[in-house]
Structure 1
Amino acid sequence: MSSRTLQWLSLVGIIWLQSITGTNSNFPAYSSQLKNLLSMSQTQLNDLAFASDAGKLLGWVSGLAAVYLPLWLVLIIGSSLGLLGYGLQYLFLADKISSLSYGHIFVLNVLAGNSICWINTVSYVVAIRNFPSHRQVAVGLTTSYQGLSAKIYTDIVDAVFSSSPTGRAKAYLLLSSILPVIVCAIATPLAREVDVGRPRNMRVGFITMFVITMATGVYAVISSLESISGKLSPSIPAIGTGAFLLAPLVIPLADTITELVKKRKAEEGRKVYPFSIELSEGAERMEKGVVEERAEAGEVREQSEGADRMENRGEEREEAGEVPEVVVLVEEIGVWAMLKRVDFWLYFFVYFFGATLGLVFLNNLGQIAESRGYSVSATSALVSLSASFGFFGRLLPSLMDYYLSRTKYMISKPASILGLMAPTTGAFFLLVNGTNFSLHISTATIGVCGGAITSIAVSLTAELFGTKNFGVNHNVLVANIPIGSFLFGNLAAMLYRRQGSAEKCMGVECYRNTFIIWGSLCALGTFLASILYARTRKLYSQTVYI
């Protein structure tokens, strides 16, 4: 099997891994049952939701493990942590265990949240190393499937398990514990590092992958609409989602068939045109003489190198549609050296006031919609809107990077983040307006910009600080997510309680001050992004196309 086929198979494996890493999004499905069993307050329940994000604070451990351990072992450890964290909660909810306290559940949620980091680390490392010339494309394609995770779990629960609230809660916990283990076992032989060699023509494969991914996203949105899903058998959406997840296998399969056909044609060509010994020896002597004569003049070397350069820069970039690798001339930086860099802290707070703040908004979207008088169905539609735009937001940088790379124009990652922070700031301030239209526009904007920043950040970490220690470096960066979730979430809750009574608030005023503060913080993040862009312009001006 060729290295290119193995590349495509690794991409398929990463897609499957990313599609099941959204287990923390299942928390609302079983939180009410846990609240009743443990007689928790709403504040304690919010702290449990934070516990899942808090697992990311230890995500750097998975990055360190990826440096010293085989990637298959890292996957096994990650899925095992999820099995332990969610599995024990399932047994507790199913009355198989009766001695779990609130503290135990909190720790189990931390373990479950940390398990996601291990799987994500392997996914990012394999995508970056197996597609060095298509880094952003591979990362964006695969991470977009994280947005489908909640849809996948919901489809399986609807198709297989009981429709009662308690039965569905148990089902979500059971799936969250065993599905990652199953998928990791399947994907382990695929999601591994490959010796890719020289850049090759992968244009058709990437275009096909883009089409499949966008079709998958459109299907997920349409099949989630209540007006459509209500008319279908519960098993149909699950079957359709499964078919779309298997669809990327078409690319390595087609690549393998093409190689076999070429190999067979070459073998048949040798059989159809046999040469006599005399003619063959004469041809060899003539060829040898010409080569030796040219070698003396240095023509063979010059023509070969010139042809390679022309082929790489001309044919691969313009005709084959290859995405050139952006080589930033910085050394491989370890985590301690990175923490001493000004660029890292600029990058950290840009992400903190951008993607993390957007994530906190989306986590509070249900409460925000309720405060404005939205019905349950209208709130669900708004949440689906945010998920859909988040999916396409993660995919957008890959599309832009792939097609712009075929021209003379390339947008640096810091410039892209700066361009996304500005509309995010405007969206937060637009939320002060009390109309439903402004809420929908802002939700869509924050969803697409937050998703895009999340996708770009994976490649930016590798470009600024190298790929050798990427696993540790990027997990240190995303440690700002639980910090922001705690700080920004509690700020919103505090201001919400001030405006309401008895833990209930209705009206635009409930979140008005929160949106003003969030918008101001995002504006600060936009300013920091402009500084980071200015500081890295020199690095990105030294772009080398390979």
Structure 2
Amino acid sequence: MPSSTLQWLSLVGIIWLQAIIGTNTNFPAYSSQLKELLSISQVQLNNLAFASDAGKLFGWFSGLASIYLPLWLVLLIGSTLGLIGYGVQYLFITNVISSLSYWHVFLLTFLAGNSICWINTVCYVVTIRNFLSDRQAAVGITTSYQGLSAKIYANIVDAVAPHKKARTFLFLNSLLPLIVGLIAAPLVREIEFTGPNYKGVGFAVMFAITISTGIYAVFSSLQFVTNKASSLGILIGILVSLVLPLLVPLLVKIKEIENNREKLRVCDFTMEDNTNEAGEGNEVKDEDDVEVQEYVVGIIEEVGVKLMLRRINFWLYFLIYFFGATVGLVYLNNLGQIAESRGCYGTSSLVSLSSSFGFFGRLMPSLMYYFYRGKCKVSRPASILAVMVPTSGAFFLLLNKSDLALYISTAVIGVCTGAITSLAVSTTTELFGTKHFSVNHNVVVANIPIGSFVFGYTAALFYRKEGNENGKCMGMECYRNTFIMWGSFCLLGTLLALILHARTRKLYSQNQ
């Protein structure tokens, strides 16, 4: 029987993967420089941001692959696609390759965006299967680290080559996921273990480490801290925080050894005591089974993708994500140009801030569900509704021209977008089941490239309309109409979330 330590090691491996696969989130940090290097317009730059998200349109390929192929192979396929997508762009930027057209770069960006789906699918499948009864907690912890991706990459670039951002980001985007994928491949696998996995100790320590990491990330993103501390020092702190989760499997292993010694000691006294000890072991197993029943049976109905597409709840859920998290992601993709148009040139600081607050946004739902699930049960649609409201307010706050409004809005949008992204994983499993999750969820997130194109292209048109003859725009007018439009769409998404909550309230009440 596999040790429960392996379960926790798989979670650590997924944390490492999630921390470096958010390669598309660091696009705003070098988008302006890339625009100059490629001599492209704002509309073409927005198309590249769309191309990265458009890779998710074919994310369902990775879902099918996870059913028929070993998960380690799916992971390495994703890493290799990223190596090709970003690597060839790097060779072009450094003049090693000189024959790439804009559309070649577009297709390579598309391929790189699709690579994230493959790695994400492996992370979600392993997390849900290894921690079924606590999937919200496990998914929330692991996906929160994806919120750190932009910060990790930005700190590495600031420490190594702050004046060559575009080429350095592309170089890191191509190699880091492959390197970490090779390291994590032996760990990231489904563990069939029916004994006690010491979830109380494991999740308590893991939450403490994750929260500490988030606090450090937010604090080190503040302007007055980055001015005093070196980028290398901040980076070292982040890397140390990524090693700390290894303490959890270590503690679980120590706990296992202690329990095994206790069992052997009891067995030396009487056979009766040994029988009692075995009975206690069965009780632990039964408790786990009861917990699984409590959070699975009564909500989950196994639904295939064809049936899912005929459900009203699916389209409500799809549009809520479309008008919520996707609008937030489009804002973050355009953060570099937005900051520049307002005369705020601390783009790296803003990207780090949004990344750090996105980290907490992804973590908060799992933290609340894990520690308050027996006291206050709130449905996933209700939780999504709760975070849609401040997202709308943040877009309208951006109409204020102060830098403070920009920083506050960016932090709020980062938190809420991260929260919806985390909640969506559990929402998909609860509305449509776990059996077809790898395909179903990739269909759900297909709204991201659609929204990226629609919202991003419209924003680019507004930007170009207000810009000068060189295609550059400075001032609040550049994005004023865009913010009003995005805020209005978020309000519509809030209304749809209210409708979905009303439709699923009876379903969730069956589990209380």
TM-score where L is the length of structure 1: 0.85
The answer to whether the aligner puts 1:20 opposite 2:32 as a matched pair is no
- Judging changes above 3 Å, is the alpha-carbon distance between structure 1 residues 270 and 337 closer, same or farther for their aligned structure 2 residues? closer
2:374 to 406, 423, 433: 406
Give me the whole-angstrom Cα distance separating, in 1, the residues matched to 2:418 and 2:339: 21
Q: 1:431: how far off?
A: 3.1
- Name the % identity: 63
Q: Which residue of 2 aligns with 1:415?
A: 382
- Judging changes above 3 Å, is the alpha-carbon distance between structure 1 residues 357 and 249 closer, same or farther for their aligned structure 2 residues? same
Q: Which residue of 2 aligns with 1:427?
A: 394
Post-superposition Cα deviations, 1:274-295, rounded to whole Å, max 9, x if no partner, equal: x7xxxx8xx89xx99xx9xxxx
The answer to whether the aligner puts 1:79 opposite 2:95 as a matched pair is no
2:185 to 183, 188, 202: 188
The answer to whether the aligner puts 1:312 opposite 2:287 as a matched pair is yes
Q: 1:458: how far off?
A: 0.6
For residue 400 of structure 1, give the secondary structure of its aligned residue in structure 2. helix
- Whether the aligned pair in 2 keeps the contact of 1:134 and 1:323 (CA below 8 Å) is no
Q: Which residue of 2 aligns with 1:543?
A: 511
Give me the whole-angstrom Cα distance separating, in 1, the residues matched to 2:70 and 2:286: 36
- Whether the aligned pair in 2 keeps the contact of 1:328 and 1:464 (CA below 8 Å) is no
1:258 to 246, 255, 258: 255
2:213 to 213, 216, 236: 216
1:359 to 329, 341, 344: 329
Give me the whole-angstrom Cα distance separating, in 2, the residues matched to 1:432 and 1:32: 22
Q: 1:383: how far off?
A: 3.7
- Whether the aligned pair in 2 keeps the contact of 1:323 and 1:406 (CA below 8 Å) is no
Q: Which residue of 2 aligns with 1:173?
A: 170
The answer to whether the aligner puts 1:521 opposite 2:482 as a matched pair is no
Give me the whole-angstrom Cα distance separating, in 2, the residues matched to 1:141 and 1:162: 31
- Whether the aligned pair in 2 keeps the contact of 1:338 and 1:465 (CA below 8 Å) is yes
- Judging changes above 3 Å, is the alpha-carbon distance between structure 1 residues 309 and 96 closer, same or farther for their aligned structure 2 residues? closer
- Whether the aligned pair in 2 keeps the contact of 1:19 and 1:147 (CA below 8 Å) is yes
Q: 1:512: how far off?
A: 2.8
Q: 1:221: how far off?
A: 2.8
Map 1:215-364; keep pairs closer than 5 Å. 215-225=212-222, 227-232=224-229, 234-268=231-265, 270=267, 273=269, 308=283, 312=287, 325-364=295-334
- Judging changes above 3 Å, is the alpha-carbon distance between structure 1 residues 430 and 163 closer, same or farther for their aligned structure 2 residues? closer
- Judging changes above 3 Å, is the alpha-carbon distance between structure 1 residues 174 and 373 closer, same or farther for their aligned structure 2 residues? closer
- Judging changes above 3 Å, is the alpha-carbon distance between structure 1 residues 214 and 440 closer, same or farther for their aligned structure 2 residues? same
Counterpart residue identity of residue 487, structure 1: V
Map 1:87-236; keep pairs closer than 5 Å. 87-159=87-159, 161-165=160-164, 168-197=165-194, 201-225=198-222, 227-232=224-229, 234-236=231-233
The answer to whether the aligner puts 1:510 opposite 2:485 as a matched pair is no
Consecutive unaligned residues of structure 1, counting only runs of 5 or more, are 292-303
The answer to whether the aligner puts 1:58 opposite 2:52 as a matched pair is no
Post-superposition Cα deviations, 1:183-231, rounded to whole Å, max 9, x if no partner, equal: 1111111111112436754122211111111111222233344544455
Shifted more, 85-94 versus 250-259: the winner is 85-94
For residue 97 of structure 1, give the secondary structure of its aligned residue in structure 2. coil
- Judging changes above 3 Å, is the alpha-carbon distance between structure 1 residues 420 and 230 closer, same or farther for their aligned structure 2 residues? closer
Q: 1:136: how far off?
A: 0.8
- Whether the aligned pair in 2 keeps the contact of 1:140 and 1:398 (CA below 8 Å) is yes
Q: 1:130: how far off?
A: 1.0
Give me the whole-angstrom Cα distance separating, in 1, the residues matched to 2:340 and 2:187: 44
Q: Which residue of 2 aligns with 1:45?
A: 45
- Judging changes above 3 Å, is the alpha-carbon distance between structure 1 residues 471 and 365 closer, same or farther for their aligned structure 2 residues? same
- Whether the aligned pair in 2 keeps the contact of 1:323 and 1:405 (CA below 8 Å) is no
- Judging changes above 3 Å, is the alpha-carbon distance between structure 1 residues 258 and 312 closer, same or farther for their aligned structure 2 residues? closer
Counterpart residue identity of residue 120, structure 2: N
- Whether the aligned pair in 2 keeps the contact of 1:327 and 1:542 (CA below 8 Å) is no
Give me the whole-angstrom Cα distance separating, in 1, the residues matched to 2:389 and 2:293: 27
Give me the whole-angstrom Cα distance separating, in 1, the residues matched to 2:334 and 2:30: 17
Counterpart residue identity of residue 428, structure 1: F
- Whether the aligned pair in 1 keeps the contact of 2:54 and 2:110 (CA below 8 Å) is yes
Shifted more, 177-186 versus 221-230: the winner is 221-230
Give me the whole-angstrom Cα distance separating, in 2, the residues matched to 1:352 and 1:265: 54
The answer to whether the aligner puts 1:488 opposite 2:455 as a matched pair is yes
Give me the whole-angstrom Cα distance separating, in 2, the residues matched to 1:361 and 1:270: 63
Q: 1:147: how far off?
A: 1.3
2:341 to 371, 396, 414: 371
Give me the whole-angstrom Cα distance separating, in 1, the residues matched to 2:175 and 2:103: 23
Give me the whole-angstrom Cα distance separating, in 1, the residues matched to 2:264 and 2:207: 35
Aligned length: 508
- Whether the aligned pair in 1 keeps the contact of 2:49 and 2:452 (CA below 8 Å) is no
Counterpart residue identity of residue 139, structure 1: V
Q: Which residue of 2 aligns with 1:397?
A: 365
Q: 1:476: how far off?
A: 0.8
Consecutive unaligned residues of structure 2, counting only runs of 5 or more, are none
Counterpart residue identity of residue 414, structure 1: P
What is the CA RMSD across the aligned residues, in angstroms? 3.0
Q: Which residue of 2 aligns with 1:297?
A: none
- Whether the aligned pair in 2 keeps the contact of 1:424 and 1:445 (CA below 8 Å) is yes
- Judging changes above 3 Å, is the alpha-carbon distance between structure 1 residues 104 and 183 closer, same or farther for their aligned structure 2 residues? same
Q: 1:329: how far off?
A: 4.1
TM-score where L is the length of structure 2: 0.90
Give me the whole-angstrom Cα distance separating, in 2, the residues matched to 1:146 and 1:497: 32
Q: 1:55: how far off?
A: 0.8
- Whether the aligned pair in 2 keeps the contact of 1:413 and 1:460 (CA below 8 Å) is yes
Counterpart residue identity of residue 248, structure 1: P
Q: 1:77: how far off?
A: 0.6
Q: Which residue of 2 aligns with 1:301?
A: none
Give me the whole-angstrom Cα distance separating, in 1, the residues matched to 2:379 and 2:177: 35
The answer to whether the aligner puts 1:447 opposite 2:417 as a matched pair is no
Q: 1:354: how far off?
A: 0.6
1:497 to 454, 464, 479: 464
- Whether the aligned pair in 2 keeps the contact of 1:38 and 1:101 (CA below 8 Å) is no
- Whether the aligned pair in 2 keeps the contact of 1:141 and 1:210 (CA below 8 Å) is yes
